[in-house]
Amino acid sequence: MSSLLNLPAAELVTRLAAGDVTSAALTEECLAAISQRDSSVRAFLNVDVERSLAQARSIDARRAAGESIGILQGLPIAVKDLICEEGVSCTCASRMLENYISPYSAHVIERLRAAGAVLVGRANMDEFAMGSSGENSAFQVTANPWDLERTPGGSSSGSAAAVAGRLTPMSLGSDTGGSIRQPASLCGVVGLKPTYGRVSRYGLVAFASSLDQIGPFASDVHGAALLLEAMAGHDPRDSTSVDRPVPSYTNSLNEPLKGLRIGVAREHFAEGLDDEVAEVVRRALDVYRSLGAELIDIELPHSKYAVAVYYLIAPSEASSNLARYEGIHYGHRTEKAGSLADLYARSRGEAFGTEVKRRIMLGVYALSSGYYDQYYVKALKVRRLIRNDFDAAFAKVDVIAGPVTPSTAFKLGERTSDPMAMYLSDIYTIPANLAGIPGISIPAGLSPSGLPVGLQLQAAPFAEETLLRAARMFEAATDHHRLIPPMARS
């Protein structure tokens, strides 16, 4: 394997800007790596070789002509297959949208093009972003590059595996309850969920509209900061997009935070956390202590209700969002229908997978007459209490540190028959989505069995600059982000 794909994003950008490496050459190496290894990893649903090379050559020609390229300088990027791009299939890894070609581009796609990105392909995922293991895709199951018999996490399984397997330097994912941070942790890469409203959701196929947020994957913190800087900002087409200036995250990234106060919640180290994961996280906290950070005990008392709250709110919103796929306006249409009602039922029954159906049914039940106040409204009230806990914590600390997942990557098939065990994979990540705050997973080391473990940092709303600087402090003091899966070393 070429050494280029082992380099961090900062160095790749520097080399591209200086002309030491061309975008076409880097893109060709990514395409070669995908050709050689993706049959084992199965990170991509679609790779457009000619189109991505044409993009790269165009960027090189513009650079040679002295034109401004943008901060990404021609870096190849994978895109999770629920972010629309004009003229490109957007399947959401579902039979429902198997033949759908998007007529427009998402705001983030427009931003990435303007920043000089090369979009190499569409990354696999759990169907409609519903899952924690990548096993709910209608087309293929993505494997973890660290162990091909284990899950890469989900729902952004392909996006995480593409970066971990050194198939692309960076990728885009979406995070509704941990779908960026959880696979980032299990695959040993950096994954960031921005503050709700920091990145436009225009062109993101909705799962749960009050929770979804697009975010970056990269092999290092600089790459995540670079990608966030490229795509963040106000979009008038998204009513939830916040009109707030975007800092230059990369300019301040290497400035250590003096007097950093790190909150450690006892709820994060309760029953259910594997000893191997707990030990790696505690060692990571010791690194921060050695760097002069102050560790402060905090409480997040309502976090124990987060999973229950999430699995009322998210399915309720999903049942509404997915109602549009009925075989007439959008999506698969059955060939066996009689009446109109039969057409709806058969089209949805044939095209939606088991997990999607399960969550639609949960949502319809929670919103139904007689249960709306008992379940959905009560969940909204507890969601507010969860946000209040974070607000109180951030009055005392700059960031909160803890585990990302309760365990390392589990074996494929191990939890498919136990939805509750699968849902608990996101127990530490869901609260950030409910509260709308930013969170990041950074590589914290390997377990005794050689599997990646991530450290989660969370910050107050729109404090991504603090979050990234705190993450970079740890990264600069360790070399965990430089570890490469065995399959990607040759």
Mean pLDDT of the chain: 96
Please indicate whether residue 80 is annotated as part of the active site. Answer: yes
For residue 128, CA distances in Å to 35, 38, 92, 316, 351 come to: 26, 22, 5, 14, 12
Q: What is the pLDDT of residue 157?
A: 98
Query: Which residue in the list 155, 156, 159, 185 is annotated as catalytic?
Result: 155
Q: How many domains does the chain have?
A: 1
Strand partners, 46: 122
- Is residue 198 a part of any domain in this protein? yes
Domain range spanning residue 99?
3-253+437-488
Q: Is the pLDDT assigned to residue 287 strictly greater than 90?
A: yes
Name the band, by pLDDT with cuts 50, 70 and 90, for residue 183: very high
- Is residue 302 a part of any domain in this protein? no
Name the band, by pLDDT with cuts 50, 70 and 90, for residue 59: very high
- Is residue 450 a part of any domain in this protein? yes
- Is residue 18 a part of any domain in this protein? yes
Rounded average pLDDT over 80-108: 98
Query: 221-231 and 464-477 helices cross at what angle (nearest 10)?
Result: 160
Q: Is the pLDDT assigned to residue 7 strictly greater than 80?
A: yes
Q: What is the pLDDT of residue 431?
A: 98
Q: Is the pLDDT assigned to residue 231 strictly greater than 90?
A: yes
Strand partners, 192: 440
Q: Which helix (H) or strand (E) segment is 439 a member of?
A: strand 439-446
> Which residue, 185, 239, 223, 51, is CA-closest to 231?
223
Q: What is the pLDDT of residue 2?
A: 52
Rounded average pLDDT over 176-183: 98
Whichever domain contains 160, its CATH number is: 3.90.1300.10
What are the tens digits of pLDDT across the range 351-395?
A: 999 999 999 999 999 999 889 999 999 999 999 999 999 999 999
Query: Which residue in the list 23, 52, 80, 133 is annotated as catalytic?
Result: 80
Q: Is pLDDT larger for residue 1 or for residue 60?
A: 60
Q: Is the pLDDT assigned to residue 417 strictly greater than 90?
A: no
Rounded average pLDDT over 90-119: 98
Rounded average pLDDT over 118-145: 98
Q: Is the pLDDT assigned to residue 147 strictly greater than 90?
A: yes
Q: What is the pLDDT of residue 337?
A: 83
Q: Is the pLDDT assigned to residue 490 strictly greater than 70?
A: no
Q: Is the pLDDT assigned to residue 1 strictly greater than 80?
A: no
Q: What is the pLDDT of residue 425?
A: 92
Please indicate whether residue 155 is annotated as part of the active site. Answer: yes
Q: What is the pLDDT of residue 41?
A: 98
What are the tens digits of pLDDT across the range 165-178?
A: 999 999 999 999 99
Show the tokens assigned to 475. 């990264």
Q: Is the pLDDT assigned to residue 408 strictly greater than 80?
A: yes
- Is residue 378 a part of any domain in this protein? no
- Is residue 133 a part of any domain in this protein? yes
- Is residue 414 a part of any domain in this protein? no
Q: How many residues does the chain have?
A: 490
For residues 120 and 95, the answer to whether their CB atoms sit within 8 Å is no
Query: Which residue in the list 102, 105, 179, 316 is annotated as catalytic?
Result: 179
Name the band, by pLDDT with cuts 50, 70 and 90, for residue 330: confident
For residues 151 and 186, the answer to whether their CB atoms sit within 8 Å is yes
- Is residue 420 a part of any domain in this protein? no
Q: What is the pLDDT of residue 9?
A: 86
Please indicate whether residue 179 is annotated as part of the active site. Answer: yes
